[in-house]
Structure 1
Amino acid sequence: MNIVGKKIGLSTQVFSAMILGAVFGLLFGGVMVKLEFIGTIWLNCIKMIVVPMVLMTIITGITSQKDLKSLGRIAVRIMVYYVLTTLVATVIGLATASVLKPGVHANFTGLASKEVSGSTDITIAQFFTNMFSSNMFVTFSESNILQTVVIAVMLGVAIMLVKNDEHREKLISGANALCSMVFSLIGMIMKASPIGIFFLMGASFGKYGTSIFTSMATLLGTYYLACILQVLLVYGLVLWFAAGISPLRFIRDSAELWVYTLSTCSSVAAIPVNMKVAREKFNVPDSISSFTVPLGSQMNYDGSVILYGCVIMFISQVCGQSVSLEMMLRVVLLSAILSTGGGGIPGSGIVKLLVMVEAFSLPTEIVGIIAAFYRLFDMGTTTNNCLGDLAGTVLVSKLEEKRAKKLAATQDNN
């Protein structure tokens, strides 16, 4: 086993496990559904380490900066990127669904509706209030990632502001040591990825069979086309013009990441993989990726807002309701606000989708049907979110690199 493991890379093992799992699910569906608990155990191990991973990577990302000024510059750049790409992603989702009109060709015969529950009363004030924890230990125990990010930023800045040099260095050294331990544990868990993914994929295909590809084919195809357009036209072109990285190279070099996210549907669990790809394929220093990638996992939801736009257009077309330019603008703005509020919304993705549909007085029954097949959409959502995080991280790294070269050239001239 060790010999084989050395010859075959982890990404190849994961991809092979995904294919084999699908085949076994189709051939031995009942057995694979019963064995789903094996994949669930692996997934639980990942979830177990998520909070300490986010906490320590952001703290060490902040404390690795030369000063708070450089941290602020990186933070502003990545946040501007995340906001702009989110707005563009919503427009792409709306435009793609407007052109292809998936709702006109949709057929819901034989589909079973799935009840969606959860609070849909969300305000801007509630969103910002939910970002700040009143008890950090409760935040950690409930795995509230958005609050964990805020706590980590506050702790990292607090360490940087410690006036006693000896104490500050000890705190930084201790944070780095804890971060090393966390990533050592992640490495152990990741070695079991092929096993966990094999059983998760087998169970999914065992439950739904090939019908999962046909029941929501029109909407699913439209959504994935919009995701591809976002990757090529937004991430690809931004990196091409700003960093000289072609869209095809970006897709090729990020393969380990998107193969992983297609399999796991977890952007938070993909943080270490994303950082690894950024470091090994795009030469991004950990001091940048350890801050921008975890932040992106909570701020950057391009894949999610693409889905919002597609679903709004889809349901409108099914109902024969026309969509005005004003309505489209409202979809763009509401999507941008709602997409970053996952930590404070019970039920997360599908409930946020329900909120969007209710906000425009469209029938929520169709959201229930979509919810029954949400795993298929979540594969694209997670992958697009993470590729957006990676592209933003690479962009900021290249901008920092150009700035450093410019400063060095100025100093040489002086």
Structure 2
Amino acid sequence: MSVNAETASAEPVRGPRAWWVLLALIVGLVGGIVATKSGDGIREPLIQVTSIVGELWLNALKMTVIPLIVALLITGIARTADAARGGRIATVSIAYFLVIFLASAVLGAFFTPVLTGIFPLPPNAADAMQAGLASIGTSAASAAVPSAEDFVRNVVPSNVIAAASNGDVLPLVLFTLVFALAVTRIRDQHRKTLVGFFEGISDALLVVIGWVLAIAPIGVLALAFGLGATAGGGAFAALGYYILLVSGIGVIVTLASYPVAVVAGGLKFGDFSRAVIAPQSVAISTRSSLASLPAMLASARILNIREEVVDVTLPMAVALFRATGPAMNLAVLFYIAEWMGLEPNLPHAIAAVFVAVLMSLSAVSLPGEISFVSSIAPIGIALGIPLAPLALLIAVEMVPDIIRTLGNVTMDVAVTAAVDRRTASRK
């Protein structure tokens, strides 16, 4: 999909106003804490009402996930295959995207548990948050991770419809990947018809998510009230820990852009650092890679990257490439696992890496809160981690989303330099 097409498809979709959602979270948590001190006569009826409202909103958010996985994967694979047909520069760009996606996913899956082991969530905060989940119908007990043997046995689906119905994401993703690859091999007329059909489905579902998120302040307020009433002040500590952990993983990916530019791109560290200041400033202020594209184009030309590479790789990067996505998405889910006392095993971690890479290929340029749901929920289902915490974490996604955009923009310029050097050496 071109940048222009991407912008057009995203235009009707509006995310929630981040400050309103954050305010709803704070008001809900404080309200729940205050209600607890008012006695059960007030607390219990309020928890019953807010839990119903919160669960309805959460279910509305979850109902789009399974069909969205299929639609986004098929259009994402088709879009990537079309881009790879655009010549050597496009092919080399795609290769770099895939390698960095994989490295990013491995970082998120295996380094996040290391960080949580060194700097664990405070025990009182973890216990309080687990208790708080019970108020929205989710508990650690109900979220037991299946055994490695059962997990491996069910990777290949015998019935893809049943897999979708049961929420078995990994078998569904595997089938969809195979189907999407097959779509790229059929006649152009049929391929365009199928891809257009699934693009229409994904666009419609993203609009539905936009509608659900438009009332996010109400849903988050309801969920946060129940959490505050049961978790108390521990909820604030746990959410602060989340922001630091996920943002820290994003900072690591951002810092990795510099050796990519120096080693793979052949640039001087100082030259690259100075050139990316302008796009980084736009990224921080707008949280949009698309809005940062003009500044990225200018910085690439300052670095003397060839025009033909700049004109191909940077727009492709904006449309297809989210370097921080796999790492930070997996960090979110491993944080939830830590929160709930779950320990995903090695097969689950490997599957999470696989799904994270594929969902990153399917990412589109949308407001961070919308892509937060569409990209992370499928990985969470694959890991067997409940999605209820995502509905609360979306309220504080504004800060990590700044780091996401900062890292994406920095890596976009670094990869463009690497593609330039790689293709120039083979001319």
Q: Are 1:32 and 2:25 an aligned pair?
A: no
Q: Is this contact kept in 1: 2:24–2:217, CA < 8 A? A: yes
Q: Are 1:146 and 2:153 an aligned pair?
A: no
Shift of 1:15: 1.5
State the SS of the aligned residue for 2:119. helix
Counterpart pick for 1:67 among 80, 84, 101? 84
Distance 1:26 1:309 in 2: 23
Shift of 1:43: 1.3
Q: Is this contact kept in 2: 1:49–1:182, CA < 8 A? A: yes
Shift of 1:49: 0.7
Shift of 1:39: 2.1
Q: Are 1:230 and 2:249 an aligned pair?
A: yes
> Which residue in the other structure is 1:176 paired with?
199
> Which residue in the other structure is 1:302 paired with?
331
- Structure 2's unaligned 5+ residue stretches are 1-14, 36-42, 86-90, 262-272, 297-313, 354-378
Distance 2:340 2:255 in 1: 26
Distance 1:139 1:291 in 2: 29
Q: Is this contact kept in 1: 2:32–2:224, CA < 8 A? A: yes
> Which residue in the other structure is 1:202 paired with?
225
Q: Cα deviation per residue 1:135-184 (whole Å; 9 max; x = unaligned)?
A: 2211222223333332332222111111x222122222222222222222
Shift of 1:51: 1.3
Distance 1:129 1:73 in 2: 32
Change (3 A) 1:408 1:229: closer
Q: Is this contact kept in 1: 2:239–2:393, CA < 8 A? A: no
Distance 1:148 1:331 in 2: 20
> Which residue in the other structure is 1:270 paired with?
none
State the SS of the aligned residue for 1:161. coil
Shift of 1:227: 4.8
Q: Cα deviation per residue 1:217-253 (whole Å; 9 max; x = unaligned)?
A: 7x99877755554344x1342246657568xx69983
State the SS of the aligned residue for 1:35. helix
Q: Is this contact kept in 2: 1:90–1:332, CA < 8 A? A: no
Distance 2:25 2:282 in 1: 19
RMSD: 5.2
| Matched ranges for 1:64-213 at <5 A | 64-65=79-80, 66-67=83-84, 74-97=97-120, 116=141, 122-123=147-148, 126-162=150-186, 164-210=187-233
State the SS of the aligned residue for 2:63. helix
> Which residue in the other structure is 2:10 paired with?
none
Distance 1:167 1:107 in 2: 52
Distance 1:331 1:115 in 2: 13
State the SS of the aligned residue for 1:64. helix
Distance 1:149 1:389 in 2: 25
Counterpart pick for 2:24 among 6, 13, 17? 17
Shift of 1:116: 2.9
Q: Cα deviation per residue 1:62-99 (whole Å; 9 max; x = unaligned)?
A: 111223766565334311221134333233233335xx
TM-score, structure 1 length as denominator? 0.59
Change (3 A) 1:349 1:253: same
Change (3 A) 1:55 1:12: same
Q: Is this contact kept in 1: 2:54–2:219, CA < 8 A? A: yes
Distance 1:41 1:308 in 2: 23
Distance 1:403 1:166 in 2: 35
TM-score, structure 2 length as denominator? 0.57
Change (3 A) 1:155 1:119: same
Shift of 1:193: 1.4
Percentage identity across aligned positions?
A: 20
Q: Is this contact kept in 1: 2:109–2:334, CA < 8 A? A: yes
State the SS of the aligned residue for 1:131. coil
Q: Is this contact kept in 1: 2:254–2:410, CA < 8 A? A: no
Q: Which moved more, 1:9-18 or 1:57-66?
A: 9-18
> What is the number of equivalent residue pairs in this alignment?
329
Q: Cα deviation per residue 1:204-229 (whole Å; 9 max; x = unaligned)?
A: 2133433656xxx7x99877755554
